[in-house]
């Protein structure tokens, strides 16, 4: 005959809410459940580390990962999550040595150094922070434009040396200048309101979005064909990500289409601009100046063709490095890493965990130069194991 449930005091201690008794074999309580291990292989602001620790993770902070590849490979073997910036290459080899890995967090917006296809094949999620540093980069672009217009690097160097040749430092005002933005995404959308009170006009070109996109009218900018934009702009701001169709887009022929005396600001991704051709046009005086925060090779090699040229401002990929932006990036990525480790969908995924799916197109998730459009809102949800879908190219 079936018996009813045991009285409360006859059930096991776990069922009554009490911890189990010590084991007979060891005389100790069972070990606590293993906490997820998060390997942080590059610099991360403390707010991000605290978010991970508060979420129950054991954080292994090894910010010298790019310079200690052997140690990185050893540590990643036991990691459930890996956080990187833009120096550690998360490729097939590194992923193969990380059998426990469930998620890679990219502390930034671009994904040039993360092999999304390899991650998708292994069911490893990739999360990042699109838009978290847009304001910081937009302000930096404006600062670079002003530095070029007023020849601030040369003025600072002259002042530091004690030289006082004011006539050699005559600059120009932005009020009558035109600005072309190549790649009007989140950063470009943050930049336009900063430019509008200062410049004569703003126009744009985006390789994947045509003149019919309603976003241009909403922002109050004109869309132009690429060659027309090059011939029109006094300042060309390049915010494009590095993809197969954007690699070398501004080659020698296209750079020569820029109007004589134009200036170039590059803060998207290195590799979009032919740096040797740019150096040649600067030396011959066709272009008046250039400011590059991103390079084809980072850091550049000893034969950098742009180093030491007058009118050139070179910075070490620092456009997004503000206290506020880096805090936003770190906490946003840490929160998404915790969501993946808990089996919850992340808010900003470049690759979602799941069974192997079709390989993503190279660089498809590294779009620093693309912002949300009306088509994005209607786009279908991402399929596990793939990159989230994009609206059709226009």
Assess whether 196 carries a catalytic annotation: no
Beta strands 201-205 and 178-182, pairing class: parallel
Provide the pLDDT for residue 4.
Answer: 47
Q: For 233-251, what is the mean pLDDT?
A: 93
Confidence grade of residue 26 (pLDDT, cut at 50, 70, 90): low
Is the pLDDT confidence value at 366 over 50? no
The whole-number pLDDT of residue 28 equals: 66
- 53 in active site: no
The Cα–Cα gap between 320 and 38 comes to: 24
Is residue 8 scored above 80 in pLDDT? Answer: no
Nearest to 275 by CA among 257, 255, 260: 255
- Catalytic annotation, pick one of 92, 173, 245, 298: 298
Q: Give pLDDT, residue 112.
A: 83
pTM of the entire predicted model: 0.76
The reported pLDDT for the residue numbered 33 is 80
Q: What are 202-227's pLDDT values in tens digits?
A: 999 988 888 888 888 888 899 999 99
Contact of 20 with 13, CB cutoff 8 Å: yes
Please give the sequence-ordered ranges of beta strands (E in DSSP) within the chain, or none if there are none. 37-40, 58-61, 81-84, 103-106, 125-127, 178-182, 201-205, 222-223, 235-238, 262-266, 287-292, 312-314, 349-351
Euclidean distance between CA atoms 94 and 110, whole angstroms = 19
Beta strand extents in 147-303 (DSSP E only): 178-182, 201-205, 222-223, 235-238, 262-266, 287-292
Q: Say if residue 14's pLDDT is above 90.
A: no
Q: Is 92 a catalytic residue?
A: no
Q: Which residue has the higher pLDDT, 185 or 277?
A: 277
In this prediction, residue 22 has a pLDDT band, given cuts at 50, 70 and 90, of low
> Of 269, 328, 339, 348, which is the active-site residue?
269
Query: Which residue among 85, 317, 368, 370 is the active-site one?
Result: 317
d(CA 169, CA 163): 12
Average pLDDT over residues 79-88: 94
What is the predicted pLDDT for the residue at 376?
Answer: 32
Taking the C-alpha atoms of residue 358 and residue 19, their distance in angstroms, rounded to an integer, is 47
């Amino acid at each position: 005959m079936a018996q009813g449930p045991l009285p409360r005091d006859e059930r096991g201690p776990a069922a009554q809410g009490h911890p189990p008794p010590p084991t007979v074999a060891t005389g100790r309580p069972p070990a606590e459940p293993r906490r997820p291990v998060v390997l942080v292989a590059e610099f991360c602001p403390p707010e991000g580390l605290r978010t991970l620790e508060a979420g129950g993770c054991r954080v292994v902070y090894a910010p010298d990962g790019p310079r200690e590849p052997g140690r990185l490979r050893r540590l990643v073997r036991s990691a459930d999550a890996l956080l990187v910036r833009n120096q550690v290459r998360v490729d097939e080899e590194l992923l193969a040595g990380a059998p426990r890995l469930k998620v890679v967090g990219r502390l930034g917006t671009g994904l040039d150094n993360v092999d999304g296809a390899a991650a998708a094949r292994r069911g490893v999620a990739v999360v990042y922070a699109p838009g978290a540093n847009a304001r910081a980069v937009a302000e930096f672009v404006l600062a670079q434009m002003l530095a070029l217009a007023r020849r601030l690097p040369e003025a600072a160097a002259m002042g530091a040396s004690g030289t006082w040749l004011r006539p050699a430092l005559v600059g120009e005002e932005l009020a009558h200048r035109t600005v072309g933005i190549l790649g009007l995404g989140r950063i470009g959308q943050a930049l336009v309101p900063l430019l509008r009170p200062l410049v004569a006009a703003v126009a744009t070109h985006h390789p994947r979005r045509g003149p019919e996109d309603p976003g241009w009218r909403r922002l109050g900018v004109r869309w132009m064909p690429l060659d027309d934009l090059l011939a029109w702009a006094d300042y060309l701001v390049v915010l494009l990500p590095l993809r197969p169709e954007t690699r070398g887009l501004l080659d020698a022929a296209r750079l020569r289409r820029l109007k004589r005396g134009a200036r170039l600001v590059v803060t998207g991704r290195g590799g979009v601009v032919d740096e040797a051709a740019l150096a040649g046009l600067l030396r011959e005086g066709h272009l008046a100046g250039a400011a590059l925060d991103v390079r084809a090779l980072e850091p550049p090699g000893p034969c950098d063709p742009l180093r030491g040229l007058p009118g050139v401002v070179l910075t070490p990929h620092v456009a997004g490095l503000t206290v506020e932006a880096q805090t936003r990036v770190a906490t946003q990525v840490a929160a998404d890493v915790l969501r993946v480790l808990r089996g919850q969908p992340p808010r900003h995924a470049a690759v979602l965990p799941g069974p192997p799916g079709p390989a993503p197109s190279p660089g498809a998730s590294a779009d620093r130069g693309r912002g949300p459009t009306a088509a994005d809102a209607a786009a279908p949800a991402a399929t596990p194991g793939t990159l989230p879908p994009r609206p059709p190219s226009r």
